[in-house]
Amino acid sequence: MELLSPRPGIGQIKPYRPARPPQDGGAAWVDLSLTVNPLGPGQKALHAYRHAAGQIHRYPDWAQDQLRRAIGQRYDINPHRITCAAGSDEMIHLVTQAFAGPGDEVLCHEHGYRGFMKAIRAAGATPVIAAERDLVVDVEAMIDRANAKTKICFLANPNNPTGTYIPTEAVQRLRAGLPPHTLLVLDSAYADYCRRDNYSDGTEVVENCDNVLMVRTFSKMHGLAGLRVGWAYGPAAVIEAINQARGPFNVSIAAQAAAAAAVLDTEHEEATYAHNSAWLPWLSHELEQVGVRVYPSVCNFILARIPTDPSLGVQAVLDHLARRGILVKPVHDYGLIDCLRITVGREEENRALVAALGEILS
């Protein structure tokens, strides 16, 4: 008799286990391991969230009308071409399920966000990984790996954990080089932090093509990681396919209300941007002063390479930081064995991190 077993691919999914402070006294920890907003949510989102509490015996709006309208208003895009999910992670899963399955290939880049791999495996499709160049996406390498079986091409721009980005012109080159049957999914989770003249989140690429989808999140700039809200903007047919795959009540009442308020709260966005613009360069500079190699980041985190002294591995650094009550993220699962990803925190958190690193590296 055959035993119960999950379908092929599921067993190959690497479990995602974020670092966690010990259960006792965890609140006192400086947690720079996840790429969240150190300022927390804005007051407008909090107010809307609390106000929604009286409605939680109801099911949420399956059409996500208020939230889609608010996103459309904020970014000046058509709400009919938007759909929302429980975090951009769910959106990545939904679009993968809708467009790829067993026998199909899905293209990613070497140090691309690992959520893509999970979604590809869960859908039973085959991941194909294109090499990067110096931790930056190599568009030509991606185009080279595309073929008749390539259903989706994922591009995180900017990317986590490298913190690097490619300019809009390169995204357009990638799009033009992919076969027309391949859906280019632009994961723009960190777009709000990347205000560069040669960068855009991909809105106009979506507008000019029928095989490009942009995915965004409320977890970073908008400070709502715990509520789980993400959204996608794309061609009507792609949005319809995702809506067919998604559960009707996938984004809760409280999450829809808070996100609708957050996306229109440009004041909180500006405060967050200003905080990041001040502390990202400070942290980069201070880390270099204690001998850490810092990769240039356009995000709210830094990829830091720890000096390669064999007696001082990344684990020893992590252990020392833990003794000081500080958590950062090792990224060995990306093949970056001597690197740490450090999120920009509040002033006192950034200073505590630099002081603790200085103790062990000097």
Please give the residue whose beta carbon sits closest to ligand PMP in the complex: 87
Closest by CA position to 327, among listed 308, 307, 301: 301
CB of 247 to ligand PMP, least distance (A): 16
Among 211, 219, 272, 297, binds ligand PMP (CB under 6 A): 219
CB of 217 to ligand PMP, least distance (A): 3
CB of 194 to ligand PMP, least distance (A): 12
State how far the Cα of 215 lies from the Cα of 200, in Å rounded to an integer: 13
Residue that the structure tokens 């990984």 belong to: 129
Q: Which stretch binds ligand PMP (CB under 6 A): 87-95, 118-126, 238-246, 302-310?
A: 87-95
Q: Which stretch binds ligand PMP (CB under 6 A): 16-24, 83-91, 252-260, 261-269?
A: 83-91
CB of 310 to ligand PMP, least distance (A): 31
Distances (CA, A) of 310 to 290, 313, 338: 17, 6, 10
Among 115, 163, 234, 345, binds ligand PMP (CB under 6 A): 115
Two structure tokens written together for 345: 């925190």
State how far the Cα of 251 lies from the Cα of 229, in Å rounded to an integer: 7
Provide DSSP, 163-225: -----HHHHHHHHHHS-TTSEEEEE-TTGGG---TT---SHHHHHT-SSEEEEEESSSTT--G
- 298 near 196, Cβ under 8 Å? yes
Q: Which stretch binds ligand PMP (CB under 6 A): 103-111, 173-181, 217-225, 281-289?
A: 217-225
Among 105, 187, 269, 286, binds ligand PMP (CB under 6 A): 187
Distances (CA, A) of 85 to 30, 89, 94, 116, 229: 29, 8, 9, 16, 6
Among 31, 89, 138, 349, binds ligand PMP (CB under 6 A): 89
| DSSP 8-state code for residue 306 | P
230 binds ligand PMP (CB under 6 A): yes
Q: Which stretch binds ligand PMP (CB under 6 A): 81-89, 102-110, 320-328, 341-349?
A: 81-89
Whichever of 94 and 354 has its CB closer to ligand PMP, that residue is: 94
Two structure tokens written together for 61: 């709006």
CB of 271 to ligand PMP, least distance (A): 20
CB of 147 to ligand PMP, least distance (A): 25
Instruction: Give the rounded distance of the alpha carbon of 287 from its chain centre.
Output: 24
Among 33, 83, 150, 160, binds ligand PMP (CB under 6 A): 160
- The strand pair at 126-130 and 329-331 is best described as unpaired
Among 77, 128, 194, 225, binds ligand PMP (CB under 6 A): 225
Contacting residues toward ligand PMP, per CB under 6 A: 35, 87-89, 113, 115, 156, 160, 187, 189, 217, 219, 225, 230
